[in-house]
Amino acid sequence: MSGRGLRYYLGYPEPNPSRGKVMVEYSVPEDVKVRLGVYDVAGRRVRDLVSGRVKAGIHRLEWDRRDVRGRLLPSGVYFLRLEAGEFRKTRKLLLLGR
């Protein structure tokens, strides 16, 4: 299936900076394997928000600031990285204390 008029896109996380939950939007123009990960400043992946095949379209998700073990991430700079097919895009995110 193809998403007419869609393109690969990773939106800016909102709100940014954030003290609470973060909204993320991305789009893919075709059914494709996607990884949307959260990385710390050292480049370590702390959480995968999406990992697997998704359908063409616009996708929105809410992230609760938790890592893979369910722990709330501390304040700091993080990066959201979308990998879909040959597409790669990274967005910076600042998490503040709650």
pLDDT tens digits, one per residue of 25-51:
999 999 999 999 999 999 999 999 999
Is the separation of the CB atoms in 41 and 57 below 8 Å?
no
For the chain, the farthest-separated pair of C-alpha atoms sits apart, in whole angstroms, at 42
pLDDT confidence tier of residue 2, bands split at 50, 70 and 90: low
pLDDT confidence tier of residue 3, bands split at 50, 70 and 90: low
Tell which phi-psi region holds residue 45, choosing left (phi > 0), alpha (psi between -120 and 50) or beta. beta
pLDDT tens digits, one per residue of 53-82:
999 999 999 999 999 999 999 999 999 999
pLDDT of residue 34: 98
Class of domain 9-95: mainly beta
pLDDT of residue 5: 82
- CA-wise closest residue to 59 among 50, 68, 67: 50
Give the domain ranges of the chain: 9-95
Could you identify the residue written with the tokens 């998490």? Answer: 95
Say which residues have a Cβ less than 8 Å from residue 45's Cβ, sequence separation at least 6: 37, 38, 39
